[in-house]
């Protein structure tokens, strides 16, 4: 059974069909890349799956459960985490605090417990801090844990977003253009991190324009163009598919 499956997923904004009858699946422990020209509908697929937008039609099935139209917090509780194309960190909060925010959906103490700081809430808070420190070390940001997120280098902010997503304890991680704006050294280190995350038992789906990253770490590539799936297969197959070449480079007269 796939970890994630969409069936005839469609999203319409007014008179514009951004995603049209897209069928896709992501299997356990896979790294799947979703690629396509700008405006192909890639982020709209992510938004429809994670609850940012409800699908206009079709269905989203996660671990055998229909989740179409579930709000983002519910999708997160079920085990879907994501990063965003445009970094969405809490800039004035420290790196550690940003990761602590990601653990909120897994905490169990009540508002009363948080206000009066009973033994249970203090114990859970200590555990959350320890877990956040572990995640910062995992993504290579231990030295930045007390630094305001806005002061981190760009590549480190991307890594911090990944750490915050991992703090939700997901089984499926969505990465929306994780290598955007990175230099070759940073994108190489990111590839190593993504491989490490997958080796730890995580299933990953990513949107990425850096073809070196896509071809270097993906098990399977899905290509969208004008909201429709036009190709799917191994990186080697997709790279040579005439439909993909035409979508990116155009068709000769």
pLDDT for the residue 116: 54
Query: Would you tell me how many other CB atoms lie within 10 Å of the CB of residue 71?
Result: 12
Q: Are residues 245 and 199 in the same domain?
A: yes
Q: Are residues 26 and 66 in the same domain?
A: yes
Q: Does any domain span residue 250?
A: yes
Rounded Cα distance, 17 and 226, in Å: 9
Whether pTM exceeds 0.85: yes
Cβ neighbors of 141 (< 8 A, separation 6 or more) are 95, 152, 156, 159, 160, 163
Query: Would you tell me how many other CB atoms lie within 10 Å of the CB of residue 198?
Result: 17
Rounded Cα distance, 44 and 111, in Å: 35
CB 18 within 8 A of CB 11: yes
Rounded Cα distance, 164 and 89, in Å: 9
H/E stretch holding 120: helix 119-138
User: Which residue, 145, 169, 193, sits at the end of a domain?
Assistant: 169
Q: Are residues 143 and 119 in the same domain?
A: yes
Q: Does any domain span residue 53?
A: yes
pLDDT tens digit string along 94-104?
999 999 999 88
Q: What is the CATH number of the domain that holds 181?
A: 3.40.50.300
User: Which residue, 146, 169, 192, sits at the end of a domain?
Assistant: 169
Q: Are residues 199 and 165 in the same domain?
A: no
Q: Are residues 155 and 141 in the same domain?
A: yes
The domain containing residue 17 runs over which residues? 1-79+170-253
Q: Does any domain span residue 186?
A: yes
Q: Does any domain span residue 84?
A: no
pLDDT tens digit string along 11-57?
999 989 999 999 999 999 999 999 999 999 999 999 999 999 999 99
Q: Are residues 74 and 181 in the same domain?
A: yes
Q: Beta strands of the chain (E only): which ranges? A: 4-13, 16-26, 31-35, 57-62, 65-66, 80-82, 172-176, 203-207, 220-225, 228-233
Look at the chain and report how many structural domains it folds into.
Answer: 2
Q: Are residues 74 and 4 in the same domain?
A: yes
Q: Are residues 191 and 235 in the same domain?
A: yes
Rounded Cα distance, 136 and 215, in Å: 27
Q: Does any domain span residue 86?
A: no
pLDDT for the residue 104: 84
Q: Does any domain span residue 28?
A: yes
Question: How many residues can be counted in the chain?
Answer: 253
Dihedral angle sign, alpha carbons of residues 171, 21, 177, 225: positive
Q: Are residues 178 and 68 in the same domain?
A: yes
**Residue recorded with tokens 């445009």:** 86
Q: Does any domain span residue 141?
A: yes
Q: Are residues 211 and 229 in the same domain?
A: yes
Q: Are residues 72 and 19 in the same domain?
A: yes
Mean pLDDT of the chain: 92
Report residue 110's pLDDT band, with 50, 70 and 90 as the boundaries.
Answer: low
**Mean of pLDDT values over 186-215:** 94
User: Which residue, 149, 169, 189, sits at the end of a domain?
Assistant: 169
Q: CA Rg, the chain, in Å?
A: 19
Q: Does any domain span residue 85?
A: no
């Amino acid at each position: 059974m796939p970890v994630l499956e969409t069936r005839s997923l469609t999203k319409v904004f007014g008179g514009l069909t951004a995603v049209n009858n897209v069928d896709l699946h992501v299997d356990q422990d896979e790294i799947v890349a979703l690629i396509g020209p700008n405006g192909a509908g890639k982020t709209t697929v992510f938004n429809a799956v994670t609850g940012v937008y409800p699908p206009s039609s079709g269905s989203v099935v996660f671990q055998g459960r229909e989740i179409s139209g579930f709000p983002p917090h519910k999708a997160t509780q079920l085990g879907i985490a994501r990063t965003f194309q445009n970094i969405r960190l809490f800039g004035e909060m420290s790196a550690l605090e940003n990761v602590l925010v990601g653990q909120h959906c897994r905490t169990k103490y009540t508002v009363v417990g948080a206000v009066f700081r009973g033994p249970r809430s203090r114990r859970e808070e200590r555990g959350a801090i320890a877990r956040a420190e572990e995640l910062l070390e995992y993504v290579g940001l231990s030295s930045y844990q007390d630094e305001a997120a806005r002061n981190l280098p760009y590549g480190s902010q991307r890594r911090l977003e990944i750490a915050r997503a991992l703090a939700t304890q997901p089984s499926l991680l969505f990465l929306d253009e994780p290598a955007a704006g990175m230099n070759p050294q940073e994108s190489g280190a990111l590839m190593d991190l993504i491989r490490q995350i997958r080796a730890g038992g995580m299933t990953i789906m990513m949107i990425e324009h850096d073809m070196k990253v896509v071809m270097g770490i993906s098990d399977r590539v899905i290509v969208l163009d004008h909201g429709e799936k036009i190709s799917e297969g191994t990186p080697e197959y997709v790279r040579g598919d005439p439909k993909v070449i035409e979508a990116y480079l155009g068709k000769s007269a």
